[in-house]
Amino acid sequence: MSLFELPILSMSATSAAGGCASGGCASGGCASGGCSTARPDQASETSRREFLKTATTLTLGAMSLTLLPGAMAGDESSSLATAPGGGHPHAKKPMYGFLIDTTKCTGAGKCLTACRVENSVPEGQARTWVERYVHFKDGRVEVELVPEIGYAASGEPQPEAEDVLRAYFVPKLCNQCVDAPCNQVCPVHASIKSPEGIELVDTDRCIGCGYCVQACPYGIRYMNHETNVADKCNWCYHRVMRNEQPACVEACPTGARVFGRIDDPDSEISQRLATLPTSVLKQHLGTIPLTRYVGLTDEVT
Amino acid sequence: MEYHALHDAPFVFPNDAHPAWSIMIVIYPYITGMVAGAFVVSTMYHVFHREALRPVARLAVVASLCLGACATLPLLLHLHQPQRALNVVATPSPSSAMAGFGFIYSFYMLVLVVDVWLLFRPAIVERAHSAPGPWKNVYRVLALGVLEITPRAAEIDRKLVHALSVIGIPAACILHGYVGFLFGAIKANPWWSTALMPVIFLTSAVVSGIAVLTLLYLFLCRGSRMEPDEECMRSLSRLLWMFLVLAVTFEFGELLHVAYEREEEWHVIRELLVTKLRFSYLTLQVLIGALLPLLILPIPAFTRVASAPFRRACTGVAAVLVLVQVAAMRWNVVVGGQLFSKSFRGFVDYPVTWLGREGLLAAAVVLAMPMLLLWGAMKLLPVWPPNPESDSGVKA
C-alpha cells in the first residue's frame, strides 16, 4: 500500500465507489455534490477540494486562535502607548506612574527589605536596589550598591569629605516601559501589560528562556532561582489593586519614592511631575519609561 | 596611572551577576549553523551542479538532517520550564523574534526530511527487496509502502529533489540568519545589537558546515579505507576559504566599525576584548581560528604543491581550526555579551561547570548526539554516491 492509499488520502476512492464522505448520499443520490451523476474523476476532484477546504479552514482557524491573544495584547499596549499624558481618552482603568527623587533618598535601605519581604525575592536577586554615586573632585565617579541595612549602618569607609564633589543615591526599579523590550521579546505571552499599563509576568506561562532578561536594558529582570521563571518588579501590582501603595513606597522614610495616578491631575505624583524637571533612564533607547527621576545625572545608567 | 572606572571602581547591577544564558545557548547556534552549512554544500551539487562535490553531496544532506534533529536539544536543556516548550508553537507571541523558531525550524526540517527521503528512495526501495530478515520490513516502512519506482516516478523525484534543494537554500539562510537576528535585535546589549548579526551568523554557519563535512569525509574515508577524492577535497577547500573570507570580513568589519566610531559602548567592548575575551576572542577566534586557516587553505585550494596527502592534511587541519573559530565566535557572542553588566561599569564571570543540565559534560553529549545519529543513518542509508551506471535516475 502506498502513501496515497492511506485512508486519510483515499477519500476520492470512496466517493468514486458511490459513497460520500459528506453524508446524505449513501444510496448514491446527493443534492449538493451531485455524486450520483458525477464521473469518478469528478467525484474524486470534489472530495479532494472539500478535504483541502476543510483542512485549510481548520489550519487557519487554529492559527488565528494562537495568534489572536498576541494581536489583542498588541492592540491594548499600543492604545496605552498612545495615551496622552499616560492615560487613554477612552480608558476607564487608572494609569499609574512612579517618581524617584534622588535628592531625597538617603540610602536607608528600608525599601529594599520591604520589597524582598513583600515579594519573596530570593537572596542574591533584586526587584529593586539603591545605588550610591560619589563624584570626586579629581573626576572619578564611584558607584556602589547600598546594602539592605542601609548605607549609614553598613560601616563602609567614608571618602574624605574634602575629596568629594557631590554624592547621591539612585533607587532603581522597573521602569514599566510603554514600549517594553521585555514584553516584545517574550515568545509565549508570559510578559503581559495590565490594563493600568503595568508590566507583569504570567508565571504559569513563562517557559524560562531568559530572553526577557537579556532584553531589559535596565537589568531589572532576572530568572528567579527559586521559582525558575522570569521575575521582576511590578510596582506591587497586588497592593495597587487593593488601593495600597507599593511596599517600597510605603517603607521609604523620606518620600523619595512617589507612586500614584498620573491620569489624576490632583494626585501628588501629577503635581510633582508638573513642577519638577524629570528625566528617564537610557532615554536614547526609546522604551518610554513610566518611572521618572528627579536629579538624574549623566553618570547614572 | 590613568583612572579607569571598569577596573578601579567596578559596579554591576545585582541581577547581572549570573549570566542568564549558558553554554547550551552557545551550542544551539553552533549546531544550527552546521545544519545550514552542510545543507548549503549539498545544494552546491544538487542545484549548482558542482560535480566535484558529488562524493559528499549525500553525506551533506544526511549530516544536515542528523544535526538538525539535535538542534533543539540544547534549547530544551536550557529552558527553566522545559515542559512548557511547546507553548512557543502553541501560543506564540507575534511580536517576539524567538516565537518564530518553531515554525522556521519545523519548515526547514520538513524540507530536509522529504529531501532525504526522495534522494534515498531508490536505495530504500532496492533494499526493501534485497535486505535480509527484519531489515526488509524496516526498509518497507521507510519506503512508505511504495516498493517500485517507475522511470516516470524517478524523474519526478529528481525534479522534486532539485526543487526542495532550491527551497532549502533560503530556508537554511532564514534558519540561521534568524538565529543571528535573535541576538542582533537586543538593543539592551551593544555587543549583540547590530543589523549585521544575521549575516555574521549565516556566513560562520556555512563555514562550520563545510568544515564539519570536510572532517566527516576525511574521517569516513579513512574508516572505510577509501582514498578521498582529490577534486572534492580541492573544492571543499576552496569553498571553506571563500566563506571564511566572507565570515571574517563581516565579523571584524563590524568590530572595526564599532571601534572606529567610538560610540559610548566602545569603552566596555574594548575592555571586554582585552580582558575577559582576550584568549577566546583574540587568540582563538582571530589568530588560531581565522588567520591560520586563511593562510593554510590556499595551499590545498589553489596549488598542487607537495603530495595529495599533505594537501589533505592541510585541509583537515584548517577545518579543525575553523570549527574552533566558529565555536569561539559563538562563545564570544553568547557568553561574552553577558560578561559585562548593563551598568556598563563592571564585568562578571561565567561559571563553567562540568556537571548539571547545563554543564560541559551535557554539552559534550549534545555535540556527540548528531554524530551518533549519523552513524545510525549511515547503517541505514548509502551516503556514498552510487556508481554512475547503477544510478537510477535521481541525481546522486
Segment A104-148, tens digit of pLDDT: 999 999 999 999 999 999 999 999 999 999 999 999 999 999 999
Nearest-CA neighbor of A178 among A199, A157, A153?
Answer: A199
The answer to whether the Cβ–Cβ distance between B78 and A209 falls below 8 Å is yes
| pLDDT at site A93 | 84
How close, in Å, is residue B46 to chain A by CA atoms? 26
The C-alpha atoms of residue B113 and residue B107 are separated, in whole angstroms, by: 10
The C-alpha atoms of residue A55 and residue A62 are separated, in whole angstroms, by: 10
Nearest-CA neighbor of A301 among B141, B394, B161, B342?
Answer: B342
Q: Residue A222: enclosing H or E segment and its boundaries? A: strand A222-223
C-alpha cell at B310: 599533505
Cβ–Cβ under 8 Å, residues A12 and A5: no
Question: Which residue has cell 474524486?
Answer: A44
The C-alpha atoms of residue B66 and residue B39 are separated, in whole angstroms, by: 11
The C-alpha atoms of residue A11 and residue A20 are separated, in whole angstroms, by: 8
How close, in Å, is residue A264 to chain B by CA atoms? 32
Residue A171 phi, psi (nearest 5) = -70, 145
| pLDDT at site A37 | 37
Three-state secondary-structure class, residue A258: strand
Contacts of A203 in chain B (CB under 8 A): none
pLDDT in tens, A215-234: 999 999 999 999 999 999 99
Residue A121 phi, psi (nearest 5) = -80, 130
* Amino acid symbol at B181: F
Nearby residues of B57 by Cβ (< 8 Å), 6 or more positions away = B41, B42, B44, B45, B46, B385, B396
Helices B54-69 and B101-130 meet at what angle, rounded to 10? 120
Three-state secondary-structure class, residue B322: helix
Nearest-CA neighbor of B228 among B241, B237, B219?
Answer: B219
Question: Which residue has cell 537576528?
Answer: B181
C-alpha cell at A207: 517557559
The C-alpha atoms of residue A226 and residue A125 are separated, in whole angstroms, by: 11
pLDDT in tens, A24-40: 333 333 333 333 334 44
Which residues of chain B fall below pLDDT 50?
1, 390-394
Report the pLDDT averaged over residues A61-75.
Answer: 48
The C-alpha atoms of residue B25 and residue B30 are separated, in whole angstroms, by: 9
C-alpha cell at B307: 603530495
Of the listed ranges A151-155, A237-241, B200-204, B271-275, the least confidently predicted one is: A151-155
Beta bridge mates, A132: A144, A169
Question: Which residue has cell 517500485?
Answer: B148
The closest CB to that of A187, out of B5, B82, B92, belongs to: B92
Question: Which residue has cell 559534560?
Answer: B361
Find, in chain A, the residue whose alpha carbon is nearest to that of B13: A219
Cβ–Cβ under 8 Å, residues B77 and B358: yes
Q: pLDDT higher for A46 or A221?
A: A221
| pLDDT at site A88 | 47
* Amino acid symbol at B325: Q
Q: How many CB atoms lie within 10 A of CB A5?
A: 11
Q: How many CB atoms lie within 10 A of CB A277?
A: 10
The C-alpha atoms of residue B179 and residue B181 are separated, in whole angstroms, by: 5
How close, in Å, is residue B185 to chain A by CA atoms? 9
The C-alpha atoms of residue B252 and residue A160 are separated, in whole angstroms, by: 45
DSSP secondary structure, A242-283, as one string: TT---HHHHH-SSS-EEEEESS-TTSHHHHHHHHS-EE-TTG
Cβ–Cβ under 8 Å, residues A86 and A263: yes
Residue A256 phi, psi (nearest 5) = -75, -20
Contacts of B5 in chain A (CB under 8 A): 140-142
Q: Select from B8, B75, B95 the residue whose CB has the most chain A CBs within 10 Å, as the one to mutate to test that interface.
A: B95
Residue A167 pLDDT > 60, yes or no? yes
What's the pTM? 0.84
The closest CB to that of B20, out of A5, A67, A210, belongs to: A210
Contacts of A145 in chain B (CB under 8 A): 11, 14
The C-alpha atoms of residue A185 and residue A212 are separated, in whole angstroms, by: 6
- Percent of chain A past pLDDT 90, that is, above it, reads 64
Three-state secondary-structure class, residue B127: helix
The closest CB to that of A208, out of B8, B80, B182, belongs to: B80
The C-alpha atoms of residue B137 and residue A29 are separated, in whole angstroms, by: 43
Cβ–Cβ under 8 Å, residues B111 and B168: yes
DSSP secondary structure, A53-67, as one string: HHHHHHHHHHHHHHH
The C-alpha atoms of residue B106 and residue B284 are separated, in whole angstroms, by: 33
The answer to whether the Cβ–Cβ distance between A140 and B11 falls below 8 Å is no
Cβ–Cβ under 8 Å, residues B146 and B7: no
The C-alpha atoms of residue B207 and residue B230 are separated, in whole angstroms, by: 20
| pLDDT at site A63 | 54
C-alpha cell at A69: 491573544
The C-alpha atoms of residue B15 and residue A263 are separated, in whole angstroms, by: 32
H-type alpha helices, B224-307: 230-261, 266-274, 292-296, 298-302
Cβ–Cβ under 8 Å, residues B121 and B157: yes
Nearest-CA neighbor of B334 among B267, B258, B253, B280?
Answer: B280
Cβ–Cβ under 8 Å, residues B347 and B10: yes
